[in-house]
Structures are given as structure tokens and as C-alpha cells.
Amino acid sequence: MPNNSGNTGEHRELDDLDPRCPGVGETTVGELNAKGEVIETGPPCDQRPKIDLLFVRESAIAGPYTADSLAISTICGGPCSDHRITTGTVTVRVQP
């Protein structure tokens, strides 16, 4: 997969097909860390790090899957975290 050709294992990260960075997905952090310092962009896709992940066992995937990194919540009156909201969907096969 582009940008992550050395990836191995039994799980898929649910946004690995995201066109912003195929094989990795989009960043899951904001522009500033908890100390208010700028988080730099970098390889492989000139974006901030991806540190929040949604995994599913590849052998259980039974259809399309997707995930997204949304804006940081501000429901608490300002940024509630330095992590973006991560959401995803996948249909899985249940094995007895």
C-alpha cells in the first residue's frame, strides 16, 4: 500500500484507504499539543502524526470499511483535547 509498504500483521487500520495518505490515513492530532506547542508536519504525507487508530482483524472484514478524523471537540467551551475525534464503520463476519 502506498506510504506503508512494509506494513505486516493481521489487522487493518480503518482509514488506510484515505486519499490524503493511502496506507496511513489522515492525522488524528490538532495543530498544538497539550503544552500549546506546535506539532510539526512530516513524512510520509506532510501531515501531523497519526496516533489514534481504529483496527479490525483483516480476516473478519466482510465488506467495505471506512474511518475519518474529525475536528477536535469544542463542546466544553474550547478545545477539549489535542486529539481529533476518530470515527469508523466496518461490517465484520462473526465466527463461532
Rg (CA), the chain: 15
- Which pLDDT value is given to residue 43? 92
Return the residue matching grid coordinates 495543530: 31
Q: Which of 70, 78, 67, 85 is nearest to 11 (CA)?
A: 67
- Which pLDDT value is given to residue 41? 96
- Which pLDDT value is given to residue 26? 92
In the structure grid, which three cell numbers stand for residue 37, read together? 506547542
Q: What is the band of 96 on the pLDDT scale with cuts at 50, 70, 90?
A: confident
pLDDT exceeds 80 at position 1 = no
Rounded CA gap, 86 and 35, in Å? 22
Mean pLDDT of 17-31: 91
Mean pLDDT of 25-37: 91
Mean pLDDT of 27-55: 92
The sign of the CA dihedral 18, 22, 23, 24 is negative
Q: What is the band of 67 on the pLDDT scale with cuts at 50, 70, 90?
A: very high
DSSP state of 94: -
Where do the structural domains in the chain lie, given as residue ranges? 10-96
